[in-house]
Amino acid sequence: MKRILFVFAHPDDESFTTGGTIAKYVAQGDVDIHLICATRGEAGKTGNPPQCTKEELPKVREQELERAAAHLGIHHLHFLPYKDGTLPDVPLEDMSQDIITYMKNTQPQVVVTFAPHGISGHKDHTAISQATFKAVSESNLPSIQKLYYITIPGSVGRQMSRQVNTDPDEAIHTIVDVREYKEPVRKALLEYKTQNMSVDKVFPGIAEGHNTSIPDRNHYILAWPHPPSTIERVENDLFVGIES
């Protein structure tokens, strides 16, 4: 069985960025999917109309993630004990050790997190990216063979109506075709009722049953081990070269 660990900051990060990849690997049937979520999203909005009070929000968002994870097929969900909006203030060593502890127990071969710019630029996204890179590069765990950054290539970003941080197209190592897996992503996104304004902005039409705003492809940069300076061939699978 192949094993992959996704490490993100907030409930909904997984569905906004790598939902199609997760659903695709689940459908293959030979990949064990793990997700670390560093916070419970307590600094977010409560929805329009409000779905809960601010005091109730952490628990509600935890439940939203659990339901979204069920749609995507995530097998294992683990929360870290941090508060939304505070990750840059958490000692990097502490956060990376939390990730290392989980990796020691689960032995993933592939790890995925945000690109260092965090796509949206959210400070929690950049912090969890730094912590994950530190954890993978310093853990010396024999199981871990690759760390990937989820990103958006510049050619795609220029076509988007919202401003996002991107990476050069020539920096992309792996493109995962997820066109057949948009429906579970749509269902997962709709579970985030407290975040419906963000969901509707980024993925217009999904509440009406349309999935054209969900990406056809997920783009990744190989972050570790250090990638070659020139990419000769773009791969289509995060597990290329890895045996279960």
For 18-27, the pLDDT digits (tens) are: 999 999 999 9
CA dist., res. 205 & res. 213, Å (int): 7
Give the model's pLDDT for residue 244: 64
Average pLDDT, the chain: 97
What was the pLDDT predicted at 161?
84
Nearest Cα to Cα of residue 238 among 224, 130, 66 = 224
* CB-CB neighbours of 187 under 10 Å: 19
Two structure tokens written together for 28? 């293959």
| CA quadruple 170, 176, 179, 184: dihedral sign | negative
- pLDDT for res 30: 96
DSSP state of 180: G
CB 149 within 8 A of CB 129: yes
| 2-224: CATH topology | Rossmann fold (3.40.50)
Specify the pLDDT at position 23: 99
* β-pair type (174-177, 217-224): antiparallel
**Per-domain residue ranges for the chain?**
2-224
Please tell me the predicted confidence (pLDDT) of residue 4.
Answer: 99
| pLDDT in the model for residue 227 | 74
Residue 119's alpha-carbon distances to 69, 73, 156, in angstroms, are: 21, 24, 12
> CB neighbours of 58 closer than 8 A, spacing ≥ 6?
40, 41, 42
Of the candidates 156, 122, 158, 147, which has an alpha carbon nearest to the alpha carbon of residue 39? 122
State what percent of residues in the chain have pLDDT above 70.
98
Reported as a pLDDT band with limits 50, 70 and 90, residue 232 is confident
DSSP string, 187-244: HHHHT-GGGHHHHHHHSTTGGGT--TTS-SEEEEEEEESPPPSS-SS-BS-TTTT---
Q: What are the backbone angles phi and psi of residue 19, rounded to the nearest 5°?
A: -55, -40
pLDDT digits (tens, 9 = 90+) for 32-63: 999 999 999 999 999 999 999 999 999 999 99
Structure tokens at 147: 């760390």
pLDDT above 70 for 226: yes
pLDDT in tens, 65-90: 999 999 999 999 999 999 999 999 99
Question: In a 3-state reduction of DSSP, which class is residue 146?
Answer: strand
Q: What is the pLDDT of residues 142-164, one digit of tens each?
A: 999 999 999 999 999 999 988 99
Distance CA 181, CA 20 (A): 6
In one-letter notation, the amino acid at residue 101 is T
